[in-house]
Amino acid sequence: MALISSKGFYGLSAMYELSLIKTDKPTQIKDISKRASIPQNYLEQLLVVLKRAGLITSVRGAHGGYFLARSANDIMIKDIFIALEGDLSVVDMDIQNPVLKMFYDKSNKKLKEIFNIPLSKLDEYEEILRGQINYII
């Protein structure tokens, strides 16, 4: 059972790709789709939600595309998931048993803490990966 759906997975992938762009030009949807391996039609739907949540902005026209609305340091991964998934929780139901309610409340809090890191933190994983590749070679 996955806690994050394909919506969250693809949304984070798209946001990560946008965070890697270091130009002042907007990135076209076809380029994001290709880099993140996301079907373009599905990506369009996700970008609408991310824009509505204030995480990205867009520029219309032939040379239009998408930008992060803020620095990758200021966008939390949990905010991306919450925008796309609705909330981050282990269980989404009314729990009557007080012991289980306490357990799930604590689990939900920890889950939000895990993803309460900036999008820019993913760069550290890339650095680790590069280090492993350089070590192997």
Q: What is the pLDDT of residues 70-84, one digit of tens each?
A: 999 999 999 999 999
pLDDT digits (tens, 9 = 90+) for 81-90: 999 998 888 8
- What are the structure tokens assigned to 101, written together? 């309610």
- 30: Cβ contacts below 8 Å, ≥ 6 apart: 40
Please tell me the pTM assigned to this model. Answer: 0.86
- The pLDDT of 50-55, averaged and rounded, is 97
DSSP string, 1-28: --SS-HHHHHHHHHHHHHHH--SSSPBP
Q: Which residues contact 123 (CB under 8 A, 6 or more apart)?
A: 19
Residue 37 reports pLDDT greater than 80: yes
Q: Which of 83, 50, 56 is nearest to 69 (CA)?
A: 56
* Spatial distance between the Cα atoms of 113 and 27, rounded to a whole number of angstroms: 30
pLDDT range class, residue 32, cuts 50, 70, 90: very high
Name the residue type at position 50: L
Mean pLDDT, all residues of the chain: 90
pLDDT in tens, 11-25: 999 999 999 998 889
One-character DSSP codes across 33-64: HHHHT--HHHHHHHHHHHHHTTSEEEE-STT-
Q: What is the pLDDT of residue 136?
A: 45
